[in-house]
Structure formats: C-alpha cells, structure tokens
C-alpha cells in the first residue's frame, strides 16, 4: 500500500476477529497508547476476508454483525475466546509507542485499544515478493538432509 492507514480508538475498543480481504504482510506502528494484538498462525478455514469466530463450530462467520466477535480489554472474555487465546498457534502481544508489529493479514487476528487511553497506530500493508513456502514436515526435513548427505558422498 502506498499510503499507510491510520487507526485510532478509545481505550477498550477493539476490532472484531477477522481475516483481511487483501492478504498482505501487515506492519503496525503504534504512535500513542497501547494496542493488544492476537494473531493465529493458521488461516481461518473457509474465510475469504471479513469476520471469523475461530472458537465456534462453524469456524468462519457469514459476515453478519451478530457474528462479529471483538475481544475488548476492559471486560471479561467469553470462555471460548479465552481458550482460543491460550492455543499454541495464537500469539498475543502488547505494543506501546514506537513498537512495530508484523503479521500476515490472511491469519485470523484482532487488535484491541487499551488500558484506559486512546490508541493511535499506522498500518502499512506490503505484498510478499514470492509466496511463502509451505511448512515442512519434520520427517521430510530429515529425509532431505539424508539425501543431501548421500549426494555429497
């Protein structure tokens, strides 16, 4: 994106858990306040951009306002949301002024403004030069190393 987007929100406000319509690498630069982020390492199944409810049976929401789920920092979390945040593939980070967070827009994520004050942040989207490589299975990695050693001999 040539021009960064500016996001500002009151303390306690939050975006819904969502997947970006344009799956860019996102850079979030916090200018003022605190922003709490949650990002899943896994893309939400069946989502084409828009809101998702990763802890529901359906996984991806149909886009209705009643299905948008925000995780505010000033209220107790629903039980399913709390369990989702504890999953090993979900990362949670708090960013303060001057901090820079990077994440994939194709992953389910949310941002919450927080802890009693306004938060202001710039978001820059960047296209990857090449598509990311798929994760390698540990067995395939061992086999590839053995093949490379055999070829070297």
Question: pLDDT tens across 57-74, in order?
Answer: 544 444 443 334 566 666
User: Residue 28: its pLDDT value, please?
Assistant: 92
Q: What is the pLDDT of residue 140?
A: 62
Residues 6 or more apart whose CB falls under 8 angstroms from that of 108 comprise 17, 18, 19, 39, 40, 42, 43, 44, 47, 52, 54
The whole-model pTM stands at 0.65
Mean pLDDT value across the chain: 75
Phi, psi of 107 (to 5 degrees): -90, 145
**Is the pLDDT at 112 greater than 60, yes or no?**
yes
For the residues 94-114, what does the mean pLDDT come to?
88
Per-residue pLDDT at 6 exceeds 90: no
Q: Residue 86 above 80 pLDDT?
A: yes
Question: Is pLDDT of 32 > 90?
Answer: yes
* Most confident among 6-20, 96-110, 126-140 (mean pLDDT): 96-110
102 pLDDT more than 50: yes
């Amino acid at each position: 994106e040539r021009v960064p987007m500016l996001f500002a929100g009151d303390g306690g406000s939050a975006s819904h858990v969502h997947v970006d319509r344009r799956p860019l690498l996102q850079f979030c630069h916090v200018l003022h306040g605190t922003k709490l982020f949650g990002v899943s390492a896994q893309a939400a199944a069946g989502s084409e951009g828009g809101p998702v409810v990763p802890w529901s049976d359906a996984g991806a929401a149909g886009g209705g306002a009643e299905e948008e789920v925000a995780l505010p920092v000033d209220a107790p979390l629903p039980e399913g949301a709390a369990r989702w945040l504890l999953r090993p593939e979900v990362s949670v980070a708090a960013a303060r002024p001057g901090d820079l967070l990077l994440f994939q827009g194709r992953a389910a994520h949310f941002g919450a403004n927080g802890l009693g004050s306004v938060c202001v942040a710039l978001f820059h989207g960047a296209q990857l030069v090449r598509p990311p490589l798929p994760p390698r299975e540990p067995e395939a990695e061992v086999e590839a190393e053995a093949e490379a050693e055999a070829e070297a001999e």
